[in-house]
Amino acid sequence: METLFKNTEERMQKTVNVLTAEYSQLRAGRANAAVLDKIRVDYYGTPTPINQMAAISISEARILTIQPWDKSTIQSIEKAIQASDIGINPQNDGVSIRLIFPQLTEERRKELSKDIRKMAEDSRVAIRSIRRDAIEKAKKMEKNSEITEDDLDDCEKEIQDYTDKYIKEIDKISADKEKEIMSI
């Protein structure tokens, strides 16, 4: 029974962590190194994350500076950024690459806000799916006489408590992110 609760809570926490990671990669008009996390550069035949090839810093609120440790890789990094879907053109000065994040328009803010709400809803659906799986396992345990009917009721209540807790957390995270986007 304890392993069921532990497993359920871990899966729900992972769902929240994935949502937080997705939100950190949203391009929100402010320089954020997380937008580079998914980009891989061909470094001597090996797809390598940019943060393992260069120092990444935020020089101003909307400017991200990438300084490769190996200057010969600057072209490869620039091409990888251009081929990615972040929608920012890199500026290469031969020593470093600068990414200038454009100011968000009202239309883009509303679009991002919709994306935030959709990601949150997808996460809530995932949480409910985890709840359903856990309750089915508990019912199976009751059917196999591993737990009593009262234990099943307690188990369902406990699982519902986890569900409520994580959905509340998702709501708070998405509201904070939406507020951040709308105030930039």
- Tell me what the mean pLDDT of segment 7-22 comes to: 93
Classify 26 as helix, strand or coil: coil
- Tell me what the mean pLDDT of segment 153-173 comes to: 94
Give CA torsion, residues 148, 132, 174, 111, to 10 deg.
-170
- Tell me what the mean pLDDT of segment 67-79 comes to: 90
Structural tokens at position 99? 């990414």
pLDDT at residue 29, as a whole number: 65
pLDDT at residue 184, as a whole number: 65
**Contact of 123 with 19, CB cutoff 8 Å:** yes
Which of the pair, 80 or 88, is modelled with greater confidence? 80
Q: Where in the chain is the domain with CATH 1.10.132.20?
A: 2-25+105-183
pLDDT at residue 110, as a whole number: 86
Answer left, alpha or beta for residue 87, where phi above 0 means left and psi between -120 and 50 means alpha.
left
Structural tokens at position 167? 């959905």
Reported as a single tens digit per residue, the pLDDT across 20-53 is: 988 877 766 677 787 888 889 988 888 899 888 8
User: What is the CATH architecture assignment of 33-100?
Assistant: 2-Layer Sandwich (3.30)
Which CATH superfamily is 2-25+105-183 part of? Answer: Ribosome-recycling factor (1.10.132.20)
pLDDT at residue 169, as a whole number: 96
Answer left, alpha or beta for residue 45, where phi above 0 means left and psi between -120 and 50 means alpha.
left
pLDDT at residue 28, as a whole number: 65
**Band of pLDDT at residue 13, cut at 50, 70 and 90:** very high
> Cα separation of 57 and 92, whole Å?
15
> Cα separation of 29 and 36, whole Å?
14
**Band of pLDDT at residue 100, cut at 50, 70 and 90:** confident
pLDDT at residue 109, as a whole number: 83
Q: Where in the chain is the domain with CATH 3.30.1360.40?
A: 33-100
pLDDT at residue 37, as a whole number: 82
Number of Cβ atoms within 10 Å of the Cβ of 82? 11
- Tell me what the mean pLDDT of segment 69-88 comes to: 86
Reported as a single tens digit per residue, the pLDDT across 101-139 is: 877 788 878 888 898 999 999 999 999 999 999 999 999
